């Protein structure tokens, strides 16, 4: 370990992060057999967190000293959320059917109740995990709630709302990544045995095959080559909506702080909380207008770029050494994900849906757009958009449901 940070110039750090992101995804797409085998065990999104975290742990860069995370979280996170939410396709959700949405919501419910239940169980086993110097542990777990009901963008939103310490956030990110990626591996194992899984759930692949054919036809019909004007429009919508959200937040926050100071315990005096709430509402409203057409020229792809920059910046905050300081948090994460799994598998079994909806619905909650797309692609590349659509639903409800989960975790921990 270096005693001092080796690279302190943020221009250099940002260049390193972009190179790492490019290298990770280039090898995933264009690498040979060795890389394909490697990525089966170490998914790209895991490396997007881990490699910056490794550089931070070794003292090569410093997430604490760098200003990259504050800038990215403040200025790229809101447009990222807006552009993802903008692609919410109500018609497609209707075509997927009520059962698919119910399974997804069962997964959301599993995360919502799983967090506080896991805290109560671990607190009974190890009271010191949530008391004394660890009394603020719930703030870190609040970020996991955002990540597991939505994704990295929601996680960052709740981090800015609840303000966990750097050490606590490192520990929580580690729990999030390792537990969530283990669950992803199990779901992908199920994909490899989808016929057996469909038999278990009392369904078949006929509905998925029909959806796949419809999506392939729709994609060919609406595909367009983006121009630079299109990219300018995407950025104008994303950052314009962000500007409106910040403007409204600057009016709402001081009003609540002055007239209802007691709401501070629920983080309702946090300016960024209102930014995220408002920008998500703007995205949902615009998704029902013609503005949504920018989705066909790359709005989601721009949002994905923002998201991966955000993920790398979050990774910079992670200290791999700090993981060992609070191992009981991993038990919280394991119990939490088991409760989520029980809820979504039970819903899938009762509703007799194809395994596809269980696997993708789970990752639309726990993993966000990236992991849901990975699972959907494992069934068929044309089904990626289904993963994205369900993930967008996760982004839309993630901050709100994550916020409720965080408050329940706070109460369960005795704070």
What token pair was written down for 372? 């849901």
pLDDT at 60 over 50: yes
pLDDT band, residue 1 (cuts 50/70/90)? very low
**335 vs 71, 116, 122, 188, 207, CA distance in Å?**
34, 10, 9, 20, 33
Residue 341: per-residue pLDDT: 94
Whole-number Å distance between alpha carbons of 218 and 215: 5
Identify which of 100, 22, 45 has the alpha carbon closest to the alpha carbon of residue 383: 100
H helix or E strand, kind and range, residue 397? helix 384-412
> Which position has the token pair 């009974």?
124
SS3 readout for 45-109: HHHHHHHHHHHHHCCCCCCCCCCHHHHHHHHCHHHHHHHHHHCCCHHHHHHHCHHHHHHHHHHHH
Whole-number Å distance between alpha carbons of 45 and 21: 9
Chain length of the chain: 415
Identify which of 118, 116, 111 has the alpha carbon closest to the alpha carbon of residue 183: 111
Residue 380: per-residue pLDDT: 67
* Spatial contact of 79 and 337, defined as CB atoms under 8 Å apart: no
pLDDT at 100 over 90: no
Average pLDDT over residues 256-278: 77
Residue-wise pLDDT for 188-200, tens only, equals 778 778 888 888 9
pLDDT at 2 over 50: no
**259 vs 68, 249, 266, 273, CA distance in Å?**
35, 15, 15, 18
Residue-wise pLDDT for 109-119, tens only, equals 999 999 999 99
Average pLDDT over residues 50-74: 86
Whole-number Å distance between alpha carbons of 62 and 64: 5
Instruction: Specify the range with the lowest mean pLDDT, choosing from 11-15, 24-28, 368-372.
Output: 368-372
Residue 153: per-residue pLDDT: 67
Residue-wise pLDDT for 320-375, tens only, equals 666 667 778 889 999 999 999 999 999 999 998 888 889 888 988 887 666 776 67
Identify the sign of the CA torsion 328, 43, 113, 357: negative
Whole-number Å distance between alpha carbons of 139 and 161: 9
Whole-number Å distance between alpha carbons of 123 and 340: 19
Residue 217: per-residue pLDDT: 61
Q: Is 37 buried (19+), middle (13-18) or exposed (0-12) by CB count in 10 A?
A: exposed
pLDDT band, residue 82 (cuts 50/70/90)? confident
Q: Is 17 buried (19+), middle (13-18) or exposed (0-12) by CB count in 10 A?
A: buried
Instruction: Specify the range with the lowest mean pLDDT, choosing from 209-213, 284-288, 303-307, 398-402.
Output: 209-213
Residue 110: per-residue pLDDT: 93
State pTM to two decimals. Answer: 0.70
Whole-number Å distance between alpha carbons of 196 and 123: 38
Q: Backbone phi, then psi, for 126, in 5-degree steps?
A: -140, 80
Rg of the chain on CA atoms, in Å? 21
> Where do runs of H (alpha helix) occur along 223-265?
228-259
Higher pLDDT, 253 or 216: 253
The share of the chain scoring above pLDDT 70, in percent, equals: 85
């Amino acid at each position: 370990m270096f005693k001092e940070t080796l690279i302190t110039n943020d221009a250099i750090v940002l260049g390193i992060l972009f190179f790492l992101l490019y290298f990770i995804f280039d090898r995933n797409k264009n690498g040979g057999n060795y890389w394909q085998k490697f990525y089966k065990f170490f998914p790209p999104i895991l490396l997007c967190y881990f490699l910056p975290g490794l550089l931070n742990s070794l003292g090569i860069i410093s997430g604490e000293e760098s200003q990259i995370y504050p800038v990215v979280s403040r200025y790229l996170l809101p447009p990222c959320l807006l552009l993802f939410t903008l692609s919410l396709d109500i018609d497609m959700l209707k075509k997927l059917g009520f059962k698919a949405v119910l399974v997804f919501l069962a997964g959301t419910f599993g995360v919502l109740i799983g967090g506080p239940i896991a805290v109560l169980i671990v607190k009974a086993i190890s009271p010191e995990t949530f008391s004394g110097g660890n009394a603020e542990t719930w703030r870190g777990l609040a970020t996991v709630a955002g990540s597991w009901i939505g994704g990295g963008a929601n996680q960052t939103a709740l981090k800015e709302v609840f303000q966990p310490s750097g050490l606590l956030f490192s520990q929580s990110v580690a729990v999030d990544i390792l537990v969530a990626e283990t669950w992803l591996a199990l779901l992908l194992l199920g994909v490899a045995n989808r016929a057996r899984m469909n038999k278990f759930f009392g369904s078949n692949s006929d509905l998925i095959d029909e959806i796949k054919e419809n999506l392939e036809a729709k994609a060919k019909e609406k595909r367009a080559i983006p121009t630079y004007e299109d990219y300018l429009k995407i950025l104008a919508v994303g950052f314009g909506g962000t500007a409106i959200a910040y403007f409204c937040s600057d009016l709402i926050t001081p009003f609540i702080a002055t007239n209802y100071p007691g709401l501070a315990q629920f983080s309702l005096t946090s300016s960024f909380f209102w930014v995220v709430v408002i920008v998500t509402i703007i995205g949902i409203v615009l998704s029902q207008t013609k503005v949504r057409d920018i989705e066909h020229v790359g709005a989601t792809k721009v949002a994905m770029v923002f998201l991966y920059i955000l993920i790398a910046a979050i990774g910079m905050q992670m200290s791999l050494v700090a993981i060992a300081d609070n191992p009981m948090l991993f038990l919280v994460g394991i119990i939490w994900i088991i409760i989520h799994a029980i809820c979504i598998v039970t819903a899938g079994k009762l509703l007799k849906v194809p395994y596809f909806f269980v696997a993708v619905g789970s990752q639309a909650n726990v993993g966000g757009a990236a992991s849901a797309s990975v699972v959907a692609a494992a069934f068929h590349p044309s089904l990626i958009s289904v993963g994205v659509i369900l993930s967008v639903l996760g982004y839309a409800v993630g901050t709100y449901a994550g916020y409720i989960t965080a408050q329940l975790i706070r109460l369960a921990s005795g704070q």
